């Protein structure tokens, strides 16, 4: 196992990581987008993005796009390369505000977190559409790991922390259990060639209705390209 440093809250760090990875001339068969923060106070990344949107979503958007060529070269007809993005059930209550993606008008930690997780689902569906249109041997799926007992809850109110401490053994998944659906999406033969799926407990399920809005998917993709400074070649595709 070899580790390369990558700060998903820094566009510069992401680009440096991709350069280092490409220099190794390694194939890339599985990419898991799993970094994230939750319910943090209002603050910005070094690029000036609201932290939930910048780290949870835009960082993965840029990383995935910069690695797409390597993924396409690594996938074959019988063994597709796989992109797995970790979202959350909170996306069901998320609202994507295209005119205020940075939550400048009114900041809510819950609203910003839910929006970032909805953006990841919209991104995955649009990405799969583009991969299919290009005939690429790459699949993109999105995973809901469930409620997992991790340090992600360190910014919640102290009463919630106490309740979590008392009930985690009963209601929360362990990190190993929370990772199971991601691993399933990454290696299961049943997922070979299957893309554009929302997975929960290793089963395909329905995401929020708004996530299937293709016009919203396109608009988010175009705006995201502008924000991270990459070419929106996909805008020419249906």
Residues with a catalytic annotation lie at 113
Cα dihedral sign, 126-235-69-138: positive
E strand or H helix at 33: strand 30-33
Per-residue HEC secondary structure of 175-222 comes to HHHHHHHHHHHHHCHHHCCCCCCEEECCEEECCCHHHHCHHHHHHHHH
The SS3 of residue 61 is: helix
CB 199 within 8 A of CB 144: yes
Q: How far apart are CA 126 and CA 90, in angstroms?
A: 20
Based on DSSP, count helices (H) and strands (E) in the chain, helices before strands.
7, 5
Work out whether strand 203-205 and strand 81-86 pair parallel, antiparallel, or are unpaired: unpaired
What's phi and psi for 162, nearest 5 deg? -65, -45
């Amino acid at each position: 196992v070899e580790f390369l440093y990558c700060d998903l809250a820094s566009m510069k760090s992401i680009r440096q990581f991709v350069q280092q990875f490409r220099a190794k001339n390694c194939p890339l068969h599985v990419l898991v987008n799993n970094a994230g923060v939750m319910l943090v106070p209002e603050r910005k990344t070094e690029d000036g993005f609201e932290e939930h949107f910048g780290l949870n979503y835009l960082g993965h958007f840029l990383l995935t796009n910069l690695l797409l060529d390597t993924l396409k070269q690594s996938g074959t007809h019988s063994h597709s390369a796989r992109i797995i993005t970790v979202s959350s059930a909170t996306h069901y209550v998320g609202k994507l505000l295209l005119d205020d993606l940075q939550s400048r008008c009114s900041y809510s930690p819950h609203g910003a977190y839910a929006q970032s997780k909805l953006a990841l689902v919209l991104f995955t569906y649009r990405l799969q559409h583009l991969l299919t249109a290009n005939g690429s041997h790459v699949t993109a799926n999105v995973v809901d790991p469930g409620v997992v007992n991790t340090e992600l809850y360190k910014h919640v109110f102290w009463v919630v922390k106490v309740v979590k401490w008392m009930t985690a053994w009963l209601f929360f998944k362990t990190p190993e259990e929370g990772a199971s659906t991601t691993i399933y999406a990454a290696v299961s033969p049943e997922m070979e060639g299957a893309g554009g799926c929302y997975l929960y407990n290793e089963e395909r399920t329905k995401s929020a209705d708004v996530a299937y809005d293709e016009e919203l998917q396109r608009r988010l993709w175009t705006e995201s390209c502008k924000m991270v400074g990459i070419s929106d070649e996909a805008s020419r595709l249906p």
